[in-house]
Amino acid sequence: MPARKILTRADKIKKEKARLTKIFKGNEKEPGIDENKLNTVKTLIDNAAFMTVTLEELQEQINESGVSEDYKNGANQWGRKQTPEVEVYISMTRNMTTIIKELANLAPQKMKKNNEIIELMRAKNA
């Protein structure tokens, strides 16, 4: 059995862009969105692909190091706080949700009716 190829960050982003673009381009059976909308969607797809890969990496880091860390400011100030990874994860998740909503609004009509776009995005981010 051949060894599984480890993808670089750039490869993962490229793969996710291709997956999302395929959703919007359509195929012979199901037409996609028109070329003008596709150009608008490309920026959202680029951002969604970047965020998807980054969120996956952040999840791995959070699983390894946990969600909080100890801190000490001065002699008597200490406690626990969220890790920087958790803060970035929360912020990026909000931004990703906004992008998913925008992509869903621009999705081909057939996919909108069946909520397929939302399900496809959820499946990837679950």
Cβ(46)–Cβ(96) below 8 Å: no
Global pTM value: 0.76
* Exposure letters 108-119 (e unless 16+ CB within 10 A, then b): beebeeeebbbe
Q: Which tens digit of pLDDT belongs to each residue from 62-112?
A: 999 999 998 888 778 888 999 999 999 999 999 999 998 888 888 766 665
Residue in this structure with the two tokens 């969604």, named with its chain if needed: 48
- pLDDT over 60 (residue 114): no
The region of weakest confidence among 8-12, 40-44, 70-74, 94-98 is 70-74
Q: What mean pLDDT, rounded, does the chain reach?
A: 83
Phi, psi of 115 (to 5 degrees): 55, 25
Higher pLDDT, 19 or 107: 19
- pLDDT over 80 (residue 26): no
In sequence order, what are the residues at sequence separation of 6 or more whose Cβ sits closer than 8 angstroms to the Cβ of residue 110?
30, 116
Cβ(108)–Cβ(31) below 8 Å: yes
